[in-house]
């Protein structure tokens, strides 16, 4: 399973070879450094640990990071701020090497994972799509959630009842998004449609698990 870490740049328009206009999200992909490897004999599974973004350095030129965090990096490898495991990585690379955007040149569909935008505390109409009450004069039921069951019995509100609360800022994965272009010159991926996450936010891109056949459209 191929995968990389990237940063979300924004959205733009993209014209296909047929002349169709497609909205795409631009992801900036810097080379991912191979921090370490997980092997079956030692860890029980096979995976590649990639890292991006260096820490700030102090006056002596050393990264501003604790010894506990720096201990997971092999000798000679600069500690990275963002690290992530990609299991069953199909490309054979060694610790200390970099993995670039070129691994997606033969990939047509990708899965994208990121933390969605936070929308703060919201009511039931925005959070769950409730219709609400009438907006006419005299009505006293407009945007309230309505009854939730607190009567003599059961005398409580059950779990998982749709109520107001914090909305957004959750780990979200969108499946089988079409990869429109791999721009190796500018180190960018153009993915059809929207991608979860904030601008400049961390995005995990991997080869799609459902649409892997080159014959799929």
- Whether 157 and 201 map to the same domain: the answer is no
- Whether 112 and 199 map to the same domain: the answer is yes
pLDDT band at 200 (very low <50, low <70, confident <90, very high): very high
- Whether 21 and 41 map to the same domain: the answer is yes
Give per-residue pLDDT as tens, 64-79: 989 898 888 888 888 9
- Whether 42 and 91 map to the same domain: the answer is yes
Give per-residue pLDDT as tens, 22-39: 999 999 999 999 999 999
Q: Is residue 28 part of a domain?
A: yes
Residue-averaged pLDDT of the chain: 91
pLDDT band at 212 (very low <50, low <70, confident <90, very high): low
- Tell me the average pLDDT across 5-9: 96
Distance, CA of 205 to CA of 202 (rounded, Å): 10
- Whether 89 and 150 map to the same domain: the answer is no
Q: Is residue 34 part of a domain?
A: yes
- Whether 89 and 183 map to the same domain: the answer is yes
Task: Read off the pTM.
Answer: 0.85
- Whether 180 and 83 map to the same domain: the answer is yes
pLDDT at 213: 54
What is the domain range of residue 185?
A: 3-54+78-117+169-207
- Whether 173 and 163 map to the same domain: the answer is no
Q: Is residue 134 part of a domain?
A: yes
Q: Is residue 193 part of a domain?
A: yes
Q: Is residue 110 part of a domain?
A: yes
- Whether 27 and 82 map to the same domain: the answer is yes
Q: Is residue 217 part of a domain?
A: no
- Whether 34 and 124 map to the same domain: the answer is no
216 pLDDT exceeds 60? Answer: no
Give per-residue pLDDT as tens, 146-181: 888 778 888 888 889 999 999 999 999 999 999 999
Structural domain count, the chain: 2
């Amino acid at each position: 399973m191929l995968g990389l870490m990237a940063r979300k740049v924004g959205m733009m328009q993209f014209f296909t070879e047929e002349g169709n206009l497609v909205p795409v999200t631009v992801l900036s992909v810097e080379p991912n450094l191979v921090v370490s490897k997980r092997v079956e004999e030692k860890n029980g599974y096979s995976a590649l640990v990639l890292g991006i973004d260096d820490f700030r350095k102090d006056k002596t030129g050393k990264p501003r990071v604790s010894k506990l965090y720096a201990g997971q990096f092999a000798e000679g490898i600069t500690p990275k701020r963002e690290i992530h495991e990609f299991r069953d990585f199909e490309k054979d690379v060694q610790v200390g090497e970099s993995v670039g955007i070129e691994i997606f040149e033969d990939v047509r569909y990708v899965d994208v994972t990121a933390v969605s935008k936070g929308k703060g505390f919201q009511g039931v109409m925005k959070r769950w799509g409730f219709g609400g009450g009438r907006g006419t004069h005299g009505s006293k039921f407009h945007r309230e959630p309505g009854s939730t069951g607190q009567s003599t019995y059961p005398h409580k509100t059950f779990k998982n009842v749709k109520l107001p609360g914090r909305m957004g800022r959750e780990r979200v994965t969108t499946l089988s998004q079409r990869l429109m272009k791999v721009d190796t010159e500018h180190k960018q991926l153009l993915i059809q449609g929207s991608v979860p996450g904030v601008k400049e936010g961390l995005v995990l891109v991997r080869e799609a698990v459902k649409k892997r056949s080159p014959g799929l459209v």
